[in-house]
Amino acid sequence: MNAATESRNWRDAWRVYAHPRVVGMAFLGFSAGLPLLLVGGTFTAWLRDLGVELAAIGFLSWVGMAHSIKVLWAPVVDRLALPGLTRWFGRRRSWMLLAQLTIASALAGIAFTDPTEALWLVAVWAVLAAFGSATQDVAVDAYRIEAVSRERQGAMAATYVFGYRVALLAAGAGALHIAAVGNWSLAYGAMAVLMGVGLLTTLIVREPEAQIDRNTVQFEQRVVDYLDRTAHRGWRRDITAWFIGAVICPFADFIQRFGKAMLAILLFISVFRISDIFMGVMANPFYLDLGFTKQQIANVAAAFGLAMTLSGVAIGGLLVARFGIMRMLIVGAVLAPLTNLCFSWLALLGPELYGLVIAIMADNLSGGIAIAVFIAYLSSLTNSAYTATQYALFSSIMTLPGQFLGGFTGVLVEMVGFAPFFIISAVIGIPAIVLALLLARIANPDHIRRPGIEA
């Protein structure tokens, strides 16, 4: 390949970020990220600031579990048409609009409710916002996957993560600053208004053109044939038809398309981020115990770390467009545990600011690249006929093992110390590397066409 061709290939790769739907994804990512802290960290800070008891705050933290169980109603988002809305806006945009209106209304309800007088009502609004947020995630993920072709999925993931991270800043530091100069009602009212970013974007973007391919039509014909033979009639037949099409078919389709490789794929999804999640639980305690000040942690680990993560996701999207998903997935699987060793080196070095900068730069850049590539990979596994349900399944299982093992990290650090702990966190990332190499041979997404029209 000559220099001119190489330059043109890189220029074409960069051009992926100019695609209108890729640009629009940043604003939908902002809408998806905004509610997360408003029913999480910011929410608990507000309640404690007003003197709400810790026990009550702890119970209210359960509202965030809606994101962990969204796979339970993802089939409804996939298949149920909303009266009026679906006809005007389409399958994906109608659910996005409903979810965004629900979130905005719930945040406004929180803004106008005093938790010291009606904590139960605040809880109701928070639950409504959490379920609206989880539902929006399902619909936005489905839209993101169906809206563009595979080679643009990395860029879509990058702009989505960019918007998401900006929203976390707005809902975290932004809301706290507004509350400091005004009050919490003003902060939550402002966040409700900011949901207009998602509403306006949903109204502007076009519904994806994805359609059911021939193999999927033949697959679902089996359901039709079964229903023709069943003795069920009336509402029982209708419910059976919906359940099979919305719940059974997405999982049966995944099994049919990947066969035995399905087990390796699901195992890989569950362990790809395990090294980062496992290490991340002890990151802030590590910085403090090592001797860094809160200001240094905020400036380097938070602000500089965010900039490195956003740079990483942009680079990840570019590399997917240039080199394909699988090669970059292997690179991401290697980088994640490898960069954990930087923290082991930092533990031996001590509280040197340059050491913290190097460790944060390496970890967040590689983490950003891995996130962008992994989202593109998960997107490539879905069938556009069942996007919402299948992606909700993948996203639900990708964090569970890391979160479970993360509960034991404090005990492990007390036993072995921080330097060996970070080495262990790198070692547990090895299975992801092995599985990535295996899947490159038996289920490479760059060689398998995703069912549905590639826009």
Residue 10 lies in a domain: yes
Residue 453 confidence (pLDDT): 46
Q: Do 195 and 219 sit in the same domain of this protein?
A: no
Q: Is residue 18 part of a domain?
A: yes
Q: Please list the ranges in the chain whose pLDDT falls under 70.
A: 1-14, 41-42, 44-46, 48, 52, 54-65, 150, 210-242, 245-246, 403, 444-455
Torsional sign, CA 353, 354, 357, 363: negative
Asked if 229 and 374 sit in the same domain, the reply is no
* Residue 262: both structure tokens together: 């399905």
Q: What integer pLDDT is reported at residue 292 of this predicted model?
A: 87
CA gap 334, 275 in Å, rounded: 11
Tell me: do 13 and 104 sit in the same domain: yes
Domain edge (last residue) among 204, 229, 263:
204
Question: Cα separation of 318 and 321, whole Å?
Answer: 5
Domain that residue 181 falls in: 3-204
Task: Give pTM, 2 decimals.
Answer: 0.73
Q: Amino acid identity, residue 269?
A: I
Q: Which two tokens stand for residue 352?
A: 């040197």
Residue 67 lies in a domain: yes
Residue 240 within a domain: yes
pLDDT at residue 380, as a whole number: 84
416, 102 Cβ separation under 8 angstroms: no
222 with 270, same domain: the answer is: no
Residues 360 and 304 placed together within one structural domain of the fold = yes
Q: What residue type is assigned to position 263 of the chain? A: L
**Are 78 and 174 found together in one domain?**
yes
Q: How far is CA 402 from CA 58, 275, 441, in A?
A: 22, 7, 26
pLDDT attached to residue 455: 45
72 with 159, same domain: the answer is: yes
Residue 425, in any domain of the structure? yes
Asked whether residue 269 is domain-assigned, the answer is: yes
Here the contacts of 182-191 (C-beta below 8 Å, separation 24 or greater) are 184/46, 184/49, 184/50, 184/111, 185/111, 185/112, 186/111, 187/42, 187/46, 187/111, 188/38, 188/46, 188/107, 188/108, 188/110, 188/111, 189/107, 189/108, 189/111, 189/112, 191/34, 191/38, 191/107
> Do 22 and 70 share a domain, yes or no?
yes
Length of the chain: 455
Same domain flag for 301 and 200: no
**323 occurs within a structural domain:** yes
Asked if 226 and 109 sit in the same domain, the reply is no
**Virtual CA dihedral for 169, 36, 153, 436, nearest 10 degrees?**
100
Asked if 330 and 416 sit in the same domain, the reply is yes
Q: Which residues contact 199 (CB under 8 A, 6 or more apart)?
A: 31, 97, 100, 101, 104
Whichever domain contains 119, its CATH number is 1.20.1250.20
Q: Is the same domain home to 283 and 347?
A: yes
Q: What pLDDT does 26 receive?
A: 92
Asked if residue 449 belongs to a domain, the reply is no
Structurally, the chain folds into a number of domains equal to 3
Of 250, 199, 196, 200, the closest CA to residue 223 belongs to: 250
pLDDT at 182: 79
What is the pLDDT at residue 204? 93
Q: Are 52 and 186 in contact (CB under 8 A)?
A: no
